[in-house]
Amino acid sequence: MRFIDEYRDAELGKKLVARIQQLSTRPARLMEFCGGHTVAIMRNGIRQLLPPTVEMLSGPGCPVCVTANVDIDRAIALARLPNVIITTFGDMMKVPGSYSSLQQARAEQADIRIVYSTQDALQIARDNPSRSIIFIGIGFETTAPTIAASILQAAEERIDNFCVLCLLKLCPPVMKSLLDLGEIKLDGIVCPGHVSVIIGSYPYEFIPRDYGVACVVSGFEPLDILLSVAMLIEQIENGKPRVEIAYRRGVKPEGNRKALELMSEVFQVGGADWRGLGAVPASGLRLRKEYQRFDAEQAFPITLEPVREAKGCICGDILRGVKIPADCKLFGKACVPEHPVGPCMVSSEGACAAYYQYGADYG
């Protein structure tokens, strides 16, 4: 299969592994920011191929995982309102909030439908003019443009029964927040691939400049990741950290202008709540005033029960790279994919789910 097989080639993979082994002379601690990268690393057993000098930590780049309990509680409360249809990506269904999950709410008769895109949600709105359709808008810069497009489309077509619970988050600000916390000393970051398709690589420039940390934008195939690690190690060994793109077939330094325009037309930057990190200023997207009628929080003001965090769950620490899934007492015991305690075990891109599914001891 073209565009896939080339990036899984075993011979090239072995050459890249040899190159990393040859380049790496001192310990280097890298973080793969994206949950998608964590999955690819575990699925292909990449950690086993790296020399002991190269340590890889999982980062907070899983949109489902970083959604704060309060926001999940809000989504569930909205689902319980009469005459509302909730539309959501499937991953959100099982995430436990303080008291329940969307899956549980659905079993209790809430009308919650899994969609593959915002277009499906708009169609449901067109088909049900007498009901309110709320799309649970989670994601990073990758999903923001399509959500923006759906809002513009709803405005144009006057689909007044459609709105979005806007939980969109931004990656560069949270990277800054992690680096500022200083809990972990990083030498390099495997920067998000799909996010960078939209925003380009310029937004990461502050990382090598202000923090001396190497950055390489990576794709999601095994060779993409091995190449990115090789490039990071080379930067680290040379002592010249900068931003490079290994994922050239998808990412341009300036990003995707059309998508960025769509985003800034509909959204403005605001604060956001992150699981594990709390409130991070200027790390989220809110609807601009002109589009506030599509904001579910404005359209359906509700009071929530006090937020509760699951006892013993260390998802927050894992998302900050301070701990790994195997450090959690609940991991693989009280917390398994069938009965997740925290979101990192639910999402297909969650670090705990990836470690559990592909074998923590092979990580």
Partner 1 sequence: MDETILLAHGSGSKLSHDLIEKSLLPPLDNPLLAKLDDSAVFDVSGRLAFTTDSYVVSPIFFLGGDIGRLAVCGTINDLAMSGATPLYLSLSLIIEEGLSLNELKKVIGSIKAAAEEAEVKIITGDTKVVNRGNADKLFINTSGIGIVPQGIDISGANAQVGDKIILSGTIGDHGIAVMSQREGLKFSVPIQSDCAPLNELVSQMLEASSQIHCLRDPTRGGLATTLNEFAKQSGVGIRIEEEKIPVHDGVRAACELLGFDPLYVANEGKLVAVVDSQDTDRILASMKRNPHGVDASIIGEVTEERRGRVIIKTRLGASRIVDMLSGELLPRIC
Nearest to 267 by CA among 178, 166, 189: 166
- How many residues bind partner 1 (CB under 8 A)? The answer is 29
Nearest to 109 by CA among 85, 135, 144, 138: 85
Q: How far is the CB of 297 from partner 1 (least distance, A)?
A: 27
Q: How many residues does the chain have?
A: 363
Residues 1-30 contacting partner 1, CB under 8 A:
1, 4, 8, 10, 13-14, 17
Tokens in use for 54? Answer: 């190269």
What are the distances in angstroms from CA 212 to CA 49, 172, 346? 26, 15, 34
- The torsion angles phi and psi of 111, rounded to 5 degrees, stand at -90, 100
Cβ proximity to partner 1, 156 vs 338, nearer residue: 338
Q: How far is the CB of 190 from partner 1 (least distance, A)?
A: 17
What are the distances in angstroms from CA 129 to CA 9, 123, 148, 267? 51, 10, 21, 25
Q: How far is the CB of 268 from partner 1 (least distance, A)?
A: 31
Distance CA 200, CA 32 (A): 17
Q: How far is the CB of 295 from partner 1 (least distance, A)?
A: 28
Q: Of these, 23, 42, 64, 310, which contacts partner 1 (CB under 8 A)? A: 42
x/- letters, 43..72, toward partner 1 (CB under 8 A): xxxx-xx-----------------------
Q: How far is the CB of 286 from partner 1 (least distance, A)?
A: 29
Contact 168, 138 (CB under 8 A): yes
Cβ proximity to partner 1, 63 vs 208, nearer residue: 63
Contact 64, 138 (CB under 8 A): yes
Cβ proximity to partner 1, 273 vs 349, nearer residue: 349
Residues 278-297 contacting partner 1, CB under 8 A:
none
Cβ proximity to partner 1, 224 vs 273, nearer residue: 224
Q: Which residues contact 84 (CB under 8 A, 6 or more apart)?
A: 78, 110, 111, 131, 132, 133, 134, 300
Q: Classify 286 as helix, strand or coil.
A: strand
Indicate the Cα dihedral angle 251, 253, 259, 264, nearest 10°: 150
Cβ proximity to partner 1, 21 vs 357, nearer residue: 357
x/- letters, 301..340, toward partner 1 (CB under 8 A): -----------------------------------xxx--
Cβ proximity to partner 1, 200 vs 340, nearer residue: 340
Q: Which residues contact 150 (CB under 8 A, 6 or more apart)?
A: 118, 119, 121, 122, 135, 162, 164
Residue range at the interface with partner 1 (CB under 8 A); choices 39-47, 60-68, 152-160, 293-301: 39-47
Is residue 107 at the binding interface for partner 1, with CB under 8 A as the rule?
A: no
Is residue 102 at the binding interface for partner 1, with CB under 8 A as the rule?
A: no
Q: Of these, 97, 208, 222, 343, which contacts partner 1 (CB under 8 A)? A: 222
Beta bridge partners of 31: 57, 189
Residues that bind partner 1 (CB under 8 A): 1, 4, 8, 10, 13-14, 17, 42-46, 48-49, 90, 93-94, 114, 116, 222, 336-338, 348, 356-359, 362
